[in-house]
């Protein structure tokens, strides 16, 4: 292994080491999560107590409320979920799981992080420009987002340095960064697998990471073109989305959701991959239906490209088309139900070790189930017309994206922390963190379903003017949701404390393989040095050889991928 000396700058800042880059993505993602979480606290507080002064913030006017909601959505999807789930987990795990030293293009990897960092800077800047941050919803629908309307000659620089244009620019940078990262992931997977690691012996997480970036690459094109056109509408005065000039505002919805729906799976796939590693390890059973899961994911990717208009059932869609999109949307639940049931089948009859990562995995399955099942309701256009733009939708996508992002991340965090930190976390604090997150999340999101079914619209700062939405139980449910959301945020400080203290003072792990798992990253030293392995491993079997196996007369519970057995 090349051990060359590195200065502080090349080791930690402009690093080309995939683990450092993963950590950089993680840190930026967590900072953005803190910002977006704080915004959530402010507007949730306002919803529950519309007249009260908000601690740490002050009063909230409706325009700022809209800005906070918009920014919360955009940040959580593009600057929290994307970097943490796809970029950070992918960077940490793909090279180590494949038994190699680094990504295929380390320099490109560094470049994609810095482009991403720039995009984060731009999106934060967009909050402070004259005119304030963008407040037209994270989906950027025109005409709200193209406010240069009927103005064929806008002031270019003024229009460029407005909140909306900067958000679009930041998104463009973010997409460019993720495309570069995705190309890197795919080339690494195709080119840099260890000797003996055929595609059918790859850990399921590596498969899922590649599905994620492939889905992203094949769906992001339309929204890049669409966002460029939107930007031109704003800064150059074109009329791509201006109905008066022959443009079409609905066109942007199509371009956006053609990407927007697969984007959910871009985020879901890494989490499913994490669960696919954790569940067999702690159930001590081979992953159920490895090939089925891969096939089902491919079916889901293809279907995900033809269901986008289920977001537009009330946008004036042809009813016959609506039926097509409804059927497609409901069909897509079949492969995902198959994957989730494969995980349940893996647990079934296993020799379960209820360690902390397993808690998060089971918590994910239970919580995500509710999100998935309410998606079936919304996918049906007859129901969606009733529930569209109500809080029911808000509760639904929080029930999908929260478990995907945070249960997925925390499961991965607790599972791989001993490997990449070389130290153990505090188990008691971890359990406290799990139960706090699990319970407070349900208490936060469940009431919103009922409020939405009762007709409470989303994206509204104040319901006091609507008598039918101000019955006692409405007010109480909003308070329960808000208090739980605040407690949910506070619970995360337990994790932060645990993280920082364990990183410096945690008990050193006695074994490189504390969970007795089979994949290659557990064969590397903890933490893996620059270059990961002392001896590059060679692979002899699939990664899920768990359960009692007879080897030369001795009983074994697991056999790592790289262990050569005497024949």
Partner 1 sequence: MQSTTVSLRRVPQGRLALWLLIAGELIIFGSAIVVYLLLRLRYPEWGAEAAKTHLSLGAFNTLVLLVSSYFAAKAHEASLKKLKGKVLRYLSLTVLCGLIFLGVKSYEYTEKISHGYTFTSPKLVEAGQGAAALFWSFYYFLTGLHALHVLVGLIAIGFIMYYVKNNKHFHRVELVALYWHMVDLIWIFLFPLLYIMQ
The yes or no reply on residue 194 touching partner 1 (CB under 8 A) is yes
Q: Which one of 23, 251, 330, 439 is in contact with partner 1 (CB under 8 A)?
A: 251
Question: Among the candidate windows 22-30, 187-195, 398-406, 520-528, which touches partner 1 by CB under 8 A?
Answer: 187-195
- Site size toward partner 1 (CB under 8 A) is 52
The nearer residue to partner 1, 135 or 242, going by C-beta atoms, is: 242
The yes or no reply on residue 2 touching partner 1 (CB under 8 A) is yes
Distance CA 156, CA 362 (A): 52
The nearer residue to partner 1, 172 or 337, going by C-beta atoms, is: 172
Backbone angles phi and psi of 230, in degrees to 5: -65, -40
State both tokens at 192: 């840099």
The nearer residue to partner 1, 246 or 316, going by C-beta atoms, is: 246
In the complex, the smallest distance separating the C-beta of residue 71 from partner 1, rounded to whole angstroms, is 26
In the complex, the smallest distance separating the C-beta of residue 262 from partner 1, rounded to whole angstroms, is 12
DSSP letter at 309 equals G
H-helix segments, 318-426 = 319-331, 333-347, 356-379, 381-387, 391-402, 408-421
Question: Among the candidate windows 120-128, 229-237, 389-397, 548-556, which touches partner 1 by CB under 8 A?
Answer: 229-237
Q: Binders of partner 1 among 153-172, rule CB under 8 A?
A: 153
Instruction: Tell me the Cα Rg of the chain.
Output: 24
Q: Which residues, 6+ apart, have CB-to-CB distance to 6 below 8 Å?
A: 530
| SS3 of the chain: helix, strand, coil, percent, to 5 | 65, 5, 30
User: Could you tell me which of 82, 71, 74 has the C-alpha nearest to residue 112?
Assistant: 82
The nearer residue to partner 1, 140 or 362, going by C-beta atoms, is: 140
Question: Do residues 242 and 146 touch, judged by C-beta distance below 8 A?
Answer: yes
In the complex, the smallest distance separating the C-beta of residue 136 from partner 1, rounded to whole angstroms, is 21
State both tokens at 76: 């959580």
The nearer residue to partner 1, 43 or 258, going by C-beta atoms, is: 258
Q: What angle do CA 545, 547, 550 make, to 5 degrees?
A: 85
Q: Which residues, 6+ apart, have CB-to-CB distance to 265 below 8 Å?
A: 211, 212, 215, 300, 301, 304
Question: Among the candidate windows 22-30, 86-94, 224-232, 306-314, which touches partner 1 by CB under 8 A?
Answer: 224-232
What counts of helices (H) and strands (E) characterise the chain? Answer: 18, 2
3-state secondary structure of 176: helix
Task: Give the containing element (helix H, strand E) for 180.
Answer: helix 163-191
Q: Which one of 31, 34, 118, 224 is in contact with partner 1 (CB under 8 A)?
A: 224
The yes or no reply on residue 149 touching partner 1 (CB under 8 A) is no
The yes or no reply on residue 471 touching partner 1 (CB under 8 A) is no
Q: Which one of 59, 191, 200, 468 is in contact with partner 1 (CB under 8 A)?
A: 191
Question: Do residues 142 and 252 touch, judged by C-beta distance below 8 A?
Answer: yes
Q: Binders of partner 1 among 426-465, rule CB under 8 A?
A: none
The yes or no reply on residue 563 touching partner 1 (CB under 8 A) is no
The yes or no reply on residue 245 touching partner 1 (CB under 8 A) is yes
The yes or no reply on residue 524 touching partner 1 (CB under 8 A) is no
**Interface map 96-135 toward partner 1 (x if CB under 8 A):** ---xxxx-xxx-x---------------------------
| DSSP conformation letters of 465-487 | T-GGG-SHHHHHHHHHHHHHHHH
The yes or no reply on residue 226 touching partner 1 (CB under 8 A) is yes
The yes or no reply on residue 174 touching partner 1 (CB under 8 A) is no
In the complex, the smallest distance separating the C-beta of residue 75 from partner 1, rounded to whole angstroms, is 24
Distance CA 145, CA 137 (A): 8
DSSP letter at 538 equals B
State both tokens at 32: 């953005």
Distance CA 279, CA 270 (A): 14
In the complex, the smallest distance separating the C-beta of residue 247 from partner 1, rounded to whole angstroms, is 6
Query: Between the CA atoms of 116, 117, 122 and 124, what dihedral angle is there, to the nearest 10 degrees?
Result: 120
The yes or no reply on residue 221 touching partner 1 (CB under 8 A) is yes
Question: Among the candidate windows 45-53, 218-226, 272-280, 481-489, which touches partner 1 by CB under 8 A?
Answer: 218-226
State both tokens at 155: 């002031």
In the complex, the smallest distance separating the C-beta of residue 217 from partner 1, rounded to whole angstroms, is 5
The yes or no reply on residue 540 touching partner 1 (CB under 8 A) is no
User: Could you tell me which of 191, 162, 183, 260 has the C-alpha nearest to residue 220?
Assistant: 260
The yes or no reply on residue 262 touching partner 1 (CB under 8 A) is no
Q: Which one of 190, 470, 490, 548 is in contact with partner 1 (CB under 8 A)?
A: 190
Question: Among the candidate windows 183-191, 417-425, 449-457, 471-479, which touches partner 1 by CB under 8 A?
Answer: 183-191
Task: Give the containing element (helix H, strand E) for 158.
Answer: helix 156-160
Q: Which one of 136, 237, 273, 328 is in contact with partner 1 (CB under 8 A)?
A: 237
| DSSP conformation letters of 420-461 | HHSBPPPHHHHHHHHHHHHHHHHHHHHHHHHHHHTT-BSS-S
In the complex, the smallest distance separating the C-beta of residue 193 from partner 1, rounded to whole angstroms, is 6
The yes or no reply on residue 361 touching partner 1 (CB under 8 A) is no
Task: Give the containing element (helix H, strand E) for 111.
Answer: helix 106-125
State both tokens at 225: 């073109």
The nearer residue to partner 1, 98 or 293, going by C-beta atoms, is: 98
Q: Which one of 32, 255, 275, 356 is in contact with partner 1 (CB under 8 A)?
A: 255
The yes or no reply on residue 249 touching partner 1 (CB under 8 A) is no
The yes or no reply on residue 50 touching partner 1 (CB under 8 A) is no
The nearer residue to partner 1, 105 or 450, going by C-beta atoms, is: 105
Question: Among the candidate windows 125-133, 175-183, 473-481, 510-518, which touches partner 1 by CB under 8 A?
Answer: 175-183
In the complex, the smallest distance separating the C-beta of residue 170 from partner 1, rounded to whole angstroms, is 18
Q: What angle do CA 506, 512, 518 make, to 5 degrees?
A: 130
Q: Which residues bind partner 1 (CB under 8 A)?
A: 1-2, 99-102, 104-106, 108, 152-153, 179, 182-184, 186-187, 190-196, 217-218, 220-222, 224-226, 228-229, 232, 236-240, 242, 244-248, 251, 255, 258, 531, 536
């Amino acid at each position: 292994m090349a051990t060359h000396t590195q200065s502080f700058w090349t080791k930690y800042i402009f690093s080309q080491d995939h683990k450092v880059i993963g950590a950089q993505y993680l840190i930026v993602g967590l900072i953005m999560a803190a910002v977006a979480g704080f915004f959530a606290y402010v507007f949730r507080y306002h919803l529950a107590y519309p007249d009260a002064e908000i601690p740490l913030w002050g009063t909230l006017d409706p325009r700022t409320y809209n800005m906070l909601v918009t920014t919360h959505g955009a940040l959580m999807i593009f600057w929290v979920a994307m970097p943490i789930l796809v970029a950070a987990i992918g960077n940490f795990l793909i090279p180590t799981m494949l038994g190699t030293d680094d990504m295929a293009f380390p320099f490109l990897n560094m470049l994609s992080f810095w482009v991403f960092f720039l995009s984060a800077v731009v999106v934060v800047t967009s909050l402070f420009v004259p005119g304030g941050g963008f407040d037209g919803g994270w989906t950027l629908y025109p005409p709200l987002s193209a406010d240069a309307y009927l103005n064929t000659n806008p002031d270019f620089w003024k229009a460029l340095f407005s909140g909306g244009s900067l958000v679009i620019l930041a998104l463009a940078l973010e997409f460019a960064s993720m495309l570069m990262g995705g190309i890197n992931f795919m080339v690494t997977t195709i080119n840099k697998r260890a000797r003996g690691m055929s595609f059918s012996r790859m850990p399921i997480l590596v498969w899922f990471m590649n599905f994620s970036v492939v889905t992203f690459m094949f769906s992001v094109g339309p929204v890049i073109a669409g966002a460029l056109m939107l930007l031109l509408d704003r800064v150059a005065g074109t009329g791509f989305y201006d109905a008066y000039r022959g443009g079409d505002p609905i066109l942007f919805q199509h371009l956006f959701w053609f990407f927007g729906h697969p984007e959910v799976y871009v985020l879901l796939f890494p989490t499913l991959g994490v669960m696919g590693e954790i569940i067999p390890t702690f159930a001590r059973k081979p992953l159920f239906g490895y090939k089925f899961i891969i096939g089902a994911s491919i079916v889901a990717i293809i279907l995900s490209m033809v269901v986008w208009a289920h977001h537009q059932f009330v946008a004036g869609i042809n009813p016959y088309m609506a039926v097509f999109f409804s059927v497609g949307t409901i069909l897509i639940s079949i492969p995902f139900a198959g994957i989730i049931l494969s995980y349940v089948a893996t647990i079934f009859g296993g020799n379960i070790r209820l360690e902390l990562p397993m808690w998060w995995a089971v918590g994910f399955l239970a919580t995500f189930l509710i999100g998935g099942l309410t998606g079936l309701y919304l996918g049906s256009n007859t129901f969606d017309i009733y529930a569209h733009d109500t809080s029911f939708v808000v509760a639904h996508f929080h029930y999908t994206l929260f478990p995907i992002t945070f249960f997925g991340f925390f499961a991965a965090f607790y599972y791989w922390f001993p490997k990449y930190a070389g130290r153990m976390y505090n188990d008691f604090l971890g359990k406290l963190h799990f139960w706090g997150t699990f319970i407070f999340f349900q208490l936060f999101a469940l009431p919103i379903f009922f409020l939405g079914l009762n007709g409470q619209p989303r994206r509204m700062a104040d319901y006091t003017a609507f008598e039918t939405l101000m019955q006692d139980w409405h007010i109480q449910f909003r308070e329960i949701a808000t208090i739980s959301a605040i407690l949910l945020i506070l619970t995360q400080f337990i994790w932060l404390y645990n993280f920082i203290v364990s990183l410096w003072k945690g008990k050193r792990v006695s074994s490189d393989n504390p969970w007795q798992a089979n994949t290659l990253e557990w064969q590397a030293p903890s933490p893996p040095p620059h270059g990961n392995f002392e001896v590059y491993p060679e692979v002899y079997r699939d990664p899920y050889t768990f359960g009692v196996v007879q080897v030369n007369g001795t009983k074994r519970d697991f056999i790592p991928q790289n262990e050569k057995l005497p024949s």
